[in-house]
Structure 1
Amino acid sequence: MKKSFLALAALAAFGGAAHAQSSVTLFGIVDAGFTYTNNNGGHSSWQMTSSNEQSTRWGLRGVEDLGSGLKAIFQLESGFSLVNGTAAQGGRLFGRQAWVGLSSDKYGTLTLGRQYNAMQDFIAPLQITTSTSLTVYGTHPLDNDNLGNTYRTNNEIKYTTQNYSGFQGEATYAFSNSTSFAVNRAYSVGATYSGGAVSLAAAYVRLSNPAFNKDTVGAIPSDNFYSLTTMPFLATAATVQQWGAAGTYSAGNAIFGLLYTGSLFGNPTAGSLFSGATGSGGGSGSVRFQNLEGSARYYFTPFLLASVGETYTHATQGSGSGNYWQTSAGFQYFLSKRTDLYVNAFYQKTSQHLHAWLNTIGAPSTTSTQVVAVVGIRHKF
């Protein structure tokens, strides 16, 4: 009897080991090129730039089949500059993403760690630039809606539903990791639908006291947020709300898109949108942006994609207000499924009291216009 029990236990252990299957995948993107700016703080400039079309990165993605439709999953993703090899995202080892969780065929996915919010997960893939159809210079002014990933969220728990006939939902909550529970916490909700030629998405994000007093342990760390030096009117906001809705429609070789996003930076303690680096004269208090974008993409061949986007942004702060008009256009030529060449051009014009600022790795234009052109290569592995 004892021998039979031991044999049965050994067989069960062997069967479990045979059933559980796991894999770890190494992946990454390397992207670099040359960027021309006609007015970079009053001077024209040529720069070698990394992460133009997509951010340069490497990472590890893992999955273990636990049986009955349940999987353990993780992702570790590190960003860096291709032109000098330095780490991005404030020097973090895995600054882009670092999370672990469980995925169920029936109940959806639950993950914990440093992650994206619902705006980034659902709205960004429908935006002309963050869909990787164009380079980073086509994001909305000052990346006010964070579709360009100016910040990521620490201490985040995320639940994503299964895909139900094209519908999927998401909710996130990020802890302050402090005894002051409401200081530097965040949450977001979103939903998306994809069916046939149509893709739709909507999302909302709220940050409470982000980057509070140079905090590095809360949901939004101060060293991975809007720049305190160049954009204090965004970096010192007591609350941040960002929301949006977007859709695309495919017709043959063409894809048409329409997107609206808004953002509200409540009661900043320093700076003004209409003074200093970004403008001159007037404005104090909360800063609000409204972005409206129309876009079109067309595949001339499976190897050649042309993209164009037009964005209008209205900004207000107190009694001050202004507008940005931005045109983005470019071509991608796919040498293979993993390698492509790109050439893009961007033009931004602002109204009175605002300076154009497309190339935020440089200085704002000293006038109301700025032109940026970029050419480069991207390889995925």
Structure 2
Amino acid sequence: MKKALLAAALMSAGIVAHAQSSVTMYGRLDAGIQYRQGIPGGNAVQMESGDWGESEFGLKGAEDLGGGTKAIFKLEMGLNVMNGNYQNGSLFGREARVGLTNDNYGTFKIGYAGASEIIQDSWDIDPQLMQQYAIATLVRGRNWAQAGNSVEYTSPLLAGLTLKGQYDLANSANWNGNGGSGSAPGQLGNTSGFGSGQGRSDGFKAQYNASSFELQALYDEIRDPYGRFSNVYLYSRSIMAGGTYTLGPVKLYAGYQHLSAPDADEAGYDGAASPGGASLPTAVDHEWGGAAWQLSAATALTAAVYHANANNGNGNATLYTLAGTYNLSKRTFFYTELGYIHNSSTSNIGLGNGYADPYGASGASNASGGGAVGGGINEGPGYGHSQFAANVGIMTQF
């Protein structure tokens, strides 16, 4: 009888422990097609994975430790649904972190931040929600930064205010950098010819949410493998502020960003050549505004304009976008987006992602002597030229 009671107690304890823990599998698949004009050599029709948002697969879990505290974890990979490969440079290249959370004391995480590098929180004040032609385009992928060796703290919600801080170590005797050794996260815009290590990065965010509006201020800095701010589009300081205001079915957006790289040099730009009469940019000012209109429960339209000006004779560019989604269900929707960039005479920003059209002559110059970053064809326009692109696709989530 005692043995039976003991077995029953152990089984009950196991059931309770199981009930207090959870593991969730989740993901999304985004597949579409893109048409792009203004590519040197002609126009292109391309199958795309992740034009609205990167395809991903992940696992996340929580364990109740008592007293309102939970242990949490998250493992997330990026996927290319056109060839089945993982993205972001490693198996769990979007995130691999463990931590603790408590409603009263906040949330602490440690590990590989990946696509949760703090500047990516800026999607919340981007009218196009960081899809293909959006807040990262005119800064050549700077707002899609990634980072490893990360510690992060997020405060509990305090009368509508949330504070968040993140610190990413270089893991080296040199506190700010590691001399180019080791492996770096797959940060967008990086080139194969300049180092491979991660310099120290850090950031801070303050966000205030009310019933009809949201305000956000964000500071972020990313150093090169030698601890310097050597490339305004890649290794730089960023100061950003913006907000949204909701009026019935319409949501208005506005924002400003300033990038600074006082240590800019040719090594930082991987030997890229400047446009005629210009020197390497050390600062960029970026502004945007837009509106999202929920036409019906199934249909939404978004229009936005972005403008960026780079110093030292590197010119300016303006991006015009129009996008729409149509929900087939709660988890699946069609999307489309149109983008048009107008460049001044010494600007050559395109509708790529930082890999396809990095800084440099014709957007293709690098230290190893040619082609766009990653070995692909150059997809950026020439200096002073415009570019138009459109995509259409389907996204499903689980």
Same fold, TM-score > 0.5, yes or no = yes
Measured against aligned partners, the alpha-carbon deviations of 1:104-146 in whole angstroms (never above 9, x if no partner) come to 121100000111233222x2222122x26xx312234454573
Which residue of 1 is the match for residue 26 of structure 2?
A: 27
Separation in 1 of the partners of 2:104 and 2:10?
26
Cα separation, partners in 2 of 1:280 and 1:190, compared to 1, 3 Å = same
Cα separation, partners in 2 of 1:196 and 1:145, compared to 1, 3 Å = farther
Cα separation, partners in 2 of 1:101 and 1:244, compared to 1, 3 Å = same
Counterpart pick for 2:204 among 189, 201, 204: 189
1:319-338, aligned counterparts within 5 Å? Answer: 320-338=313-331
Range 243-252 or range 135-144, more displaced: 135-144
**How many pairs were matched up?**
345
Q: CA deviation at 1:42?
A: 3.6
Which residue of 1 is the match for residue 88 of structure 2?
A: 89
Q: Is the 8 A contact 1:30 1:82 kept in 2?
A: yes
Query: Normalization by structure 1: what TM-score?
Result: 0.83
1:342-381, aligned counterparts within 5 Å? Answer: 342-360=335-353, 361=356, 362-366=378-382, 367-381=384-398
Separation in 1 of the partners of 2:56 and 2:247?
33
One-letter amino acid matched to 1:96: R
Separation in 1 of the partners of 2:349 and 2:201?
30
Range 18-27 or range 301-310, more displaced: 18-27
One-letter amino acid matched to 2:69: L
Q: Is the 8 A contact 2:52 2:132 kept in 1?
A: yes
Which residue of 1 is the match for residue 260 of structure 2?
A: 264
Measured against aligned partners, the alpha-carbon deviations of 1:247-296 in whole angstroms (never above 9, x if no partner) come to 001111100000111111232331799x968x621232452111110110
One-letter amino acid matched to 2:291: A
Q: Is the 8 A contact 2:215 2:243 kept in 1?
A: yes
Separation in 2 of the partners of 1:261 and 1:241?
10
Cα separation, partners in 2 of 1:142 and 1:292, compared to 1, 3 Å = closer
Q: Is the 8 A contact 1:262 1:291 kept in 2?
A: yes
Separation in 2 of the partners of 1:241 and 1:187?
10
Q: Is the 8 A contact 2:77 2:94 kept in 1?
A: yes
Separation in 2 of the partners of 1:15 and 1:68?
18
Q: CA deviation at 1:371?
A: 0.2
For structure 2, the 5+ residue unaligned runs are 178-198, 357-377
Q: CA deviation at 1:82?
A: 0.9
Which residue of 1 is the match for residue 187 of structure 2?
A: none
Note the aligned Cα RMSD (angstroms).
Answer: 2.8
User: Tell me, what secondary structure is at the counterpart of 1:204?
Assistant: strand
Separation in 2 of the partners of 1:27 and 1:15?
28
User: Tell me, what secondary structure is at the counterpart of 1:120?
Assistant: helix
1:121-136, aligned counterparts within 5 Å? Answer: 121=121, 123-129=122-128, 131=129, 135-136=131-132
Q: Percent identity?
A: 29
For structure 1, the 5+ residue unaligned runs are 214-219, 221-231
Q: CA deviation at 1:233?
A: 4.6
Query: Normalization by structure 2: what TM-score?
Result: 0.80
**Larger fraction in strand:** 1
Q: CA deviation at 1:39?
A: 1.2
One-letter amino acid matched to 2:127: I
Counterpart pick for 2:225 among 185, 205, 211: 211
Separation in 2 of the partners of 1:178 and 1:372?
43
